[in-house]
């Protein structure tokens, strides 16, 4: 465990150094870039090592998995934040609203309706990001760019706090045009948060203005 702890700490430090290099003047100009640990499949023992190494923001992909892991982790570490970054079924809106500090994967009207209803019921405002399927891949979540404007307006009309946009570019493509598109769309709507960039491309995403990078394997190692 001694070695494991040192390893995760080193990896977080390494990623943070690479973020700082990619950010350059932006960090000095006071635009902080948040590192999110993509902690899907990671057990609590590993996550708690990362928390103790100073990483305080996490993203989970599945409601059930998050519900199993995070209540106990939050009890031990009340200052951590956990956000939903995976596909979300409307029937899980209740659990998601209760569990997460923000939901990044909002991509359709039916989900907006379900979330708005639950937030009202629970008296809890959970901010959201709209996920945009910049590559228009059929198997991937996210609203297609042509429909994003209407969806953002709908979410706002339902009283949701839309803080920004999120995307996952196609795995085999140059991500740069996808990051550029997301930045342009966020700017058009005056949305501050840009969640883009993963282990393989977070430096590139930062060059295109990412405010949140979601990093899994570069911190926790390859998922098995």
- Per rule CB under 6 A, is residue 40 in the interface with ligand PLP? yes
Q: Give least dist CB 134 to ligand PLP, A.
A: 13
DSSP string, 71-130: HHHHHH-TT-EEEE-S---GGGHHHHHHH-SEEEEE-SHHHHHHHHHHHHHHT----EEE
The residue with its CB nearest to ligand PLP is 216
CA–CA gap between residue 63 and residue 96 (Å, rounded)? 6
The least distance separating ligand PLP from the CB of residue 65, rounded to whole angstroms, comes to 12
Among 21-29, 73-81, 110-118, 215-223, the segment contacting ligand PLP (CB under 6 A): 215-223
214 is a site residue for ligand PLP (CB under 6 A): yes
Contacting ligand PLP (CB under 6 A), which of 38, 84, 152, 194? 38
Q: Which of 176, 219, 188 is nearest to 38 (CA)?
A: 219
Does residue 178 belong to the site contacting ligand PLP (CB under 6 A)?
no
- Report DSSP state, residue 70: H
CB of 167 to ligand PLP, least distance (A): 9
Q: Does 102 bind ligand PLP (CB under 6 A)?
A: no
Q: Please say whether the beta carbons of 204 and 173 come within 8 A.
A: no
Minimum separation from the CB atom of position 30 to ligand PLP (A): 26
């Amino acid at each position: 465990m001694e070695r494991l702890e040192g390893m995760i700490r080193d990896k977080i430090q390494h990623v943070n150094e690479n973020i700082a290099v990619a950010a350059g003047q932006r960090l000095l100009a006071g635009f902080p870039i948040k590192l999110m640990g993509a902690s899907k499949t990671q057990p609590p023992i590993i996550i708690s090592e990362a928390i103790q190494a100073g990483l305080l923001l996490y993203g989970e992909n599945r409601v059930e998995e998050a519900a199993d892991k995070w209540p106990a982790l939050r009890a031990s570490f009340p200052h951590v934040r956990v956000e939903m970054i995976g596909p979300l079924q409307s029937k899980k809106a209740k659990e998601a609203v209760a569990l997460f500090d923000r939901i990044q994967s909002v991509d359709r009207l039916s989900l907006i309706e379900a979330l708005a209803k639950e937030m009202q019921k629970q008296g809890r405002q959970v901010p959201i990001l709209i996920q945009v399927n910049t590559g228009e891949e059929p198997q991937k979540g996210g609203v297609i760019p042509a429909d994003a404007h209407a969806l953002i307006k709908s979410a706002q009309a339902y009283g949701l706090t839309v803080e920004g946009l999120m995307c996952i570019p196609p795995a085999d493509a140059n991500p740069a045009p996808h990051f550029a598109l997301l930045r342009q769309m966020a700017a058009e709507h005056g949305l501050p948060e840009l969640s883009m960039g993963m282990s393989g491309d977070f430096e590139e995403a930062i060059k295109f203005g990412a405010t949140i990078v979601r990093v899994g394997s570069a911190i926790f190692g390859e998922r098995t």
